[in-house]
Amino acid sequence: MRIILQKVSRARVEVVDDAGASDTDAAEAVVPGVGDRHRAGNGFTPPSIAHGYVLLVGVADDDGDREIRWMAHKILHLRLFADTPSSNARISVRYDPAAPTPASTATPQIMQHHESDSLTPTADEAADRSRGGSGSRQSRMQYSILDSHGSILSIPQFTLFADISKGNRPSFFAAGEPVHAERVWHAFNRMLRSSGIEVREGRFGSHMEVSLHNDGPVTLQIDTADFI
């Protein structure tokens, strides 16, 4: 899996052209206030979020349960927020290579997450701070999306696997087959939701327009092939 993560103060996605919607469906589903060319299509209501993440999600043919678990755990526990969390415990996904995922079971595996868990620095982080490498920036990145009660807007993005090594027309041969990619994308979104946070979705296989306010700006590129 490849993901571009953008930390946002707000974001919204609209469907411009839904390949699964008939002309009649589209004509009857104009989104109020956004112009005739922006149509909901098949009842799609443009979702929006306040502070949180926009995730552009690319799936390869060999991505499965292991990649879903690893990516969900990493994104839920990255510390990118300066917001002061509440004292309430949250629900979080723990990365366990042997555990089933929503891709293969109807009941996601979840666990209790306490604020102190995410605030305890690792040995690497402590060493980095002692060297002064990123102390000022780390002081503004203390909390995870679970701690700060953020939301996620998940957008399928097969173009993350574009190959531009030959010629000027990108090749998308490395992108996952659509049926498989959609299944993995939905399973990944369900895994994120099992943490208790709000996850909104774009529309798979559709032409969409994503508007966002990047907070920071903070943008990360994460690829499971680099870690597992």
Q: What is the pLDDT of residue 19?
A: 64
pLDDT digits (tens, 9 = 90+) for 217-227: 999 999 999 99
More confident residue, 31 or 9: 9
The residues facing 81 across adjacent strands are 143
- Which residues are marked as active site? 159
User: Please, is 78 exposed, middle or buried when counting C-beta atoms within 10 Å of its C-beta (0-12, 13-18, 19+)?
Assistant: buried
Percent of the chain with pLDDT over 70: 64
Mean pLDDT over the full length of the chain: 78
pLDDT category at 215 given cuts 50, 70, 90 is very high
More confident residue, 25 or 215: 215
pLDDT category at 132 given cuts 50, 70, 90 is very low
Angstrom distance (rounded) from CA 189 to CA 106: 13
Q: What is the pLDDT of residue 206?
A: 93
pLDDT category at 101 given cuts 50, 70, 90 is low
pLDDT above 50 (res 110): no
Select from 3.90.1640.20, 1.20.1600.10, 1.10.10.10, 3.50.80.10 the CATH code of 2-226. 3.50.80.10
Helix axis angle for 65-77 and 178-193, nearest 10°, is 40
Q: What is the mean pLDDT of residues 199-208?
A: 95
pLDDT above 80 (res 84): no
Candidate ranges 28-32, 92-96, 160-164; pick with highest mean pLDDT? 160-164
Q: Minimum mean pLDDT among 20-24, 38-42, 221-225: which range?
A: 20-24
Q: What is the pLDDT of residue 182?
A: 97
pLDDT above 90 (res 152): yes
- Does the predicted model carry a pTM greater than 0.85? no
Q: Minimum mean pLDDT among 22-31, 55-64, 165-174, 219-228: which range?
A: 22-31
pLDDT category at 17 given cuts 50, 70, 90 is confident
The conformational region for residue 191 under phi > 0 = left, psi -120 to 50 = alpha, else beta, is alpha
pLDDT above 80 (res 43): no
Q: What is the pLDDT of residue 44?
A: 74
Please name the residue ranges forming H helices in the chain: 23-27, 65-77, 115-119, 123-131, 135-138, 178-193
Q: Structural domain boundaries of the chain?
A: 2-226
More confident residue, 101 or 19: 19
Non-local (6+) Cβ contacts of 187 within 8 A are 65, 68, 101, 102, 103
Q: What is the pLDDT of residue 225?
A: 94
Residue 106 CB neighbours (<10 A): 7
